[in-house]
Structure 1
Amino acid sequence: MDSFNFIPLLVLLSFLFVYASRSSFEDQGINVQSTPEPRKLEGPPTKVEKVELVLYYETLCPYCKEFIVKELIKVFDRGLINIVNLRLVPYGNAHIQEPDKTIVCQHGPDECYLNSIQACAISSWPDVKQHFKLIHCVENQTIEGKQSKEEGWKSCCRKLGMNQKPVQDCYDSGLERKLILQYANETNHLVPHHTYVPWVVVNNQPLYDDYQNFVSYVCKAYKGSPKPEGCRSLLPKINSAGNADSNGQAFTRVKRSRNN
C-alpha cells in the first residue's frame, strides 16, 4: 500500500477509536467534559460624564456674594461635587479700556484686586475643593464687612491653614493680569452673551434668573446612577417662564437685567 494513502487511514481509525471511547464512558455514566468555549471578556463600564457647572461672577457683586456663600456651597454640602465639574470665572461685568488695556471693574479697584486674588487662588490650587474654600471665606467676609481687601483674604488663609505665598507670588509676578485677560476673553465670548451676574451655566446652557435652582438642573442633567443624596428627593424646579429640554435646562426670556 502506498504510504501516502496509509496516513489518512490511520487518522480515520484514530478518530473512530476516540469516538468509541467517549461513547463507552458516557454509557457508564461518566461525564466527559467538552472543551470550554473561550470566555467573552466584558468591556469596562460605561463612563458617565460629569455635569459642567460654571459660575461667571465678580467678587463684590451683592448677588454673587450671596450666591457663592449660601447657594453654591450646596455643591459640597450635598455631595454634588462627585457629579459636577465646577469652574469659577472671576471677571463678571468688568471691561478692558483702550489704549493701554486697563481692566476696569464695576465695583472699583477693590473688586479688581479681589478678582485677581481669586484668579490666583484658582491657578495656585487647581482642585476646586481647595480654592473654593478660600473664595467662600473671602466672599463671606465681604458680606460681613469685617476685613480690608488685602487683610481679608490673608486672614482667610490663616483660618483655613492655607499657604498664602503662592497666591501672593502669582499676584506680584503679574500672572494675575494674564489670568484675568483669559477670563475676560472667555466671558466676552459667551453664547448667548451674559447680561448680568451671577451668570450660571449648566452644560453650556445659561439658567438666567433661575440660577438659584441650579441643583435641580444639575441633578436632571446627570445621567449616572445612583444620584447623590442631594438629588434623590429633588424634582426639577424650572422657572415658569421657561421650557425644560431633555437635560433639564431652561431657556428663559430675560425680562430684566441685573448689573450690580
Structure 2
Amino acid sequence: MAPAAPLAVLTLVALLAPGLGVALPGCDYPAHLWCSSREIAVACQAESHCANLSSPAAPPVELTLFYESLCPACRWFLVQQLFTTWLLLPAEALSITLVPYGNAEERNVSGKWQFQCQHGPEECLGNMIETCLMHEAKNFSAYFPVIFCLESGSSVTKNLDAVRPPSPSQGDVSLTSLRAPEPSSRPCFSPRQCLQVYAPQLDGGRIAACVQGDAGAALMHRNAQLTQALDPPHQYVPWVVING
C-alpha cells in the first residue's frame, strides 16, 4: 500500500492539476516529488507553492568544551573563538556544554571530594565558581556571558568575598587566600562585577554557598566523571567534542 501523500502535496495537486491524473506539460513526475528539487518544481510549475512549504529544521550542532578555568589556551579559545561564534550563530544552530575540570585529579577523603588542579588551588576555585554559576543559572544564555567576562579578566576568582555569603558558617576555608599574582595585561573583573553587568538577576550568595558547600563538590565530581568518561580520553585542554 502506497504511503499517504502529505497534506501540502495534496494541496499542490488540487491547485495545479485540477481533476487529478491530468499531467502538466513537461511534468513527468508524481505529485509527491514536485518539491524534491528546483528543476522538478520548475517543470511542474510548482515553484511558488514549494517555496511556502516548511522544511524540517536541522538539529543543532552539539559542542562540549572540556577546559580549565585558568588554562591560557582554554581562556583564549573560550573568549576569542567559542563566545564570538555563539554570538554570531542563530540560537538554534549550536548547543554548547561547558565542563570545567580538564587535567584535575580528585580523591575521596572521609566521604568528601577533594580536587587538585593543574594550575593550582585558584584554578580549582575558578572551576567551582563557574560550575556553581551554571548550576544556579540553569539557562546557558544567562551564564555564558558571565563566564566570558570572568575568563576575559585578570583573575576568575579576584574579590571572591564580593559573592560570599555575608555570614559564612563556621569551618569555612578562606577562599580569598587562594588568589595568585595577576598579570597586568588583562582588565580586572570580579565575579560580582560580571554578575552585575551580564546577569544581575542571579543571586551571588547562592553561588557562593554552592562553592563552599557539598553541592559544589558534588557538581565538580560530576565534571570529573564526564571528563574521565571521554572515549578516546582527552590528551590536552581545551578538548572539544562535537555531536557526541
Which letter does structure 2 place at the counterpart of 1:113?
L
**d(CA) in 1 for partners of 2:157 and 2:221?**
27
The answer as to 2:131 corresponding to 1:93 is: no
- Asked whether the 8 Å contact 1:121–1:131 carries over to 2, the reply is yes
Which letter does structure 1 place at the counterpart of 2:131?
A
- Asked whether the 8 Å contact 1:55–1:198 carries over to 2, the reply is yes
Task: Tell me which residue corresponds to 2:224.
Answer: 184
Which letter does structure 2 place at the counterpart of 1:103?
F
Question: Following TM superposition, by how much is the alpha carbon of 1:73 offset from its aligned partner in structure 2, in angstroms?
Answer: 1.2
**d(CA) in 1 for partners of 2:156 and 2:209?**
25
**d(CA) in 2 for partners of 1:42 and 1:119?**
47
Task: Tell me which residue corresponds to 1:52.
Answer: 62
Question: Following TM superposition, by how much is the alpha carbon of 1:172 offset from its aligned partner in structure 2, in angstroms?
Answer: 3.4
Task: Tell me which residue corresponds to 1:128.
Answer: 140
TM normalised by structure 1 equals: 0.57
Identity across the alignment (%): 30
Task: Tell me which residue corresponds to 2:39.
Answer: none
Equivalent residue for 1:171, pick from 211, 215, 223: 211
Equivalent residue for 1:137, pick from 125, 149, 156: 149
For 1:166-245, list aligned pairs within 5 A: 166-204=206-244
- Asked whether the 8 Å contact 2:66–2:101 carries over to 1, the reply is yes
Decide which structure has greater helix share: 1
Task: Tell me which residue corresponds to 1:62.
Answer: 72
Which sections of structure 2, spanning at least 5 residues, go unmatched? 10-53, 163-189
Task: Tell me which residue corresponds to 2:114.
Answer: 102
Mark the CA change 1:46 to 1:159 in structure 2 (over 3 Å): closer, same or farther: closer
Paired residue secondary structure (2:221):
helix
Which letter does structure 1 place at the counterpart of 2:76?
E
Which letter does structure 2 place at the counterpart of 1:78?
L
For 1:72-87, list aligned pairs within 5 A: 72-87=82-97
Equivalent residue for 2:191, pick from 153, 156, 161: 153
Aligned-pair Cα RMSD in Å: 2.5
**d(CA) in 2 for partners of 1:104 and 1:66?**
23
Task: Tell me which residue corresponds to 1:23.
Answer: none
TM normalised by structure 2 equals: 0.61
Mark the CA change 1:160 to 1:46 in structure 2 (over 3 Å): closer, same or farther: closer
Paired residue secondary structure (1:73):
helix
Paired residue secondary structure (1:201):
strand
**d(CA) in 2 for partners of 1:104 and 1:146?**
17
**d(CA) in 2 for partners of 1:166 and 1:99?**
25
Equivalent pairs counted in the alignment come to: 165
- Asked whether the 8 Å contact 1:58–1:92 carries over to 2, the reply is yes
- Asked whether the 8 Å contact 1:114–1:149 carries over to 2, the reply is no
* Superposed CA offset, 1:188-233 (max 9, x none): 01001001100011112xxxxxxxxxxxxxxxxxxxxxxxxxxxxx
Paired residue secondary structure (2:143):
helix
Which sections of structure 1, spanning at least 5 residues, go unmatched? 1-38, 205-260
Task: Tell me which residue corresponds to 1:11.
Answer: none
* Superposed CA offset, 1:151-171 (max 9, x none): 521221123242323312322
Question: Following TM superposition, by how much is the alpha carbon of 1:45 offset from its aligned partner in structure 2, in angstroms?
Answer: 5.2
- Asked whether the 8 Å contact 2:128–2:216 carries over to 1, the reply is yes
Mark the CA change 1:40 to 1:188 in structure 2 (over 3 Å): closer, same or farther: closer
- Asked whether the 8 Å contact 1:57–1:64 carries over to 2, the reply is yes
